[in-house]
Amino acid sequence: MKANNNALPAFEARRPTSDLEYVYNELKQSFMIGEFVPGQRLTLPALAEAFGTSQMPVREAASRLVLARAIEALPRRSLRVPEATTERLDLLLPLRLQLEGEAVRLAVEAGCGKLARSLTAINGEMDDKAASDDRKAYLRLNQEFHFSIYQKCGNGDLIDLIELLWMRYGPLMNIVRSGELSVSGHVRHAEAIDAIGRGDAGAAAEAMRADIREAAQAIRPAIADARRREDKGAA
């Protein structure tokens, strides 16, 4: 599907690390929370200008993202966010279900019950952002909710793999309004919080898998609708 525009996320000017690490981490975060539009085309000069750097760190960061299959390399130093397709959704979804369910199970078994209060606060903020249809803030909070749990799993390699999947999956979330994700998301997050507080690893993992599955159910028709609009516009 074609991107509606080529607007870039608002990146911070200050860089606490090297230019390369800063640019890569910012781009990775933007992909993970769906700030880029499926099919959106990017250029190294435009990204370098947005970051206030030379093209060298942008080029190296983009190369990492290409290797991670979060972005596609095109001729003439341009890049493209992969198109949103149901085939891509169906390839990534089972992996997310397996790896993220396992991360939750490990985290609860390791003892993360004290997280329940902060997770409840995040879930409440997500409700507020969904009500105002602030998709960017909603997806950022959603990532914070999930990774607050995953970071407690005690397996850095597992977290790295989950981040890789989120970079590939994030643009699919871009095409769905936050309100369409919030109803089941609130319920499943609440179920996960309750299970985490009780130390029930199996119930917490299943609540998270249900959250991911039901979000995908909102993404699937959004992909089809976007495709129909594109076909109609081309007619």
Q: Which range has the worst mean pLDDT, 2-11, 131-140, 153-162, 224-233?
A: 2-11
> Could you tell me if 32 and 137 lie in one domain?
no
Cα 114 to its chain centre, rounded Å, is: 25
Based on the fold, state whether residues 43 and 111 are members of the same structural domain.
no
pLDDT confidence bin for 16, thresholds 50/70/90: low
3-state helix, strand, coil in the chain (%, to 5): 70, 5, 25
Task: Decide if 159 is inside a domain.
Answer: yes
Q: pLDDT for 68-90, tens place per residue?
A: 999 999 988 789 999 999 999 99
Same domain, 155 and 172: yes
Q: Is 12 within a domain?
A: no
User: Within this chain, do residues 72 and 92 fall inside the same structural domain, yes or no?
Assistant: no
Q: Mind listing the pLDDT tens digit for each residue in 205-217?
A: 999 999 999 999 9
Assess if residue 5 is contained within a domain: no
- Work out whether strand 72-74 and strand 41-43 pair parallel, antiparallel, or are unpaired: unpaired
Residue 76 shares a structural domain with residue 90: no
| Domain range enclosing 116 | 86-234
Are 140 and 211 part of one and the same domain? yes
- Give yes or no: residues 56 and 134 share one domain: no
Q: Domain of 111: which CATH number?
A: 1.20.120.530
Average pLDDT over residues 158-186: 85
Output the pLDDT for position 26: 95
Q: What is the CATH number of the domain that holds 32?
A: 1.10.10.10
Number of domain units in the chain = 2
- Do residues 37 and 75 share a domain? yes
Of 36, 65, 80, the one marking the end of a domain is: 80
> What backbone phi and psi angles, to 5 degrees, belong to 34?
75, 35
Q: Evaluate whether residue 148 is within a structural domain.
A: yes
My answer on whether 214 and 105 are in the same domain is yes
Domain end: 37, 65, 80, which one?
80
Say if pTM beats, i.e. exceeds, 0.85.
yes
* Identity of residue 40: Q
25 and 140, same domain (yes or no):
no
- Neighbour order of strands in the sheet with 78-80: 41-43, 78-80, 72-74
Who contacts 221 (Cβ-Cβ below 8 Å, separation ≥6)?
none
Same domain, 76 and 107: no
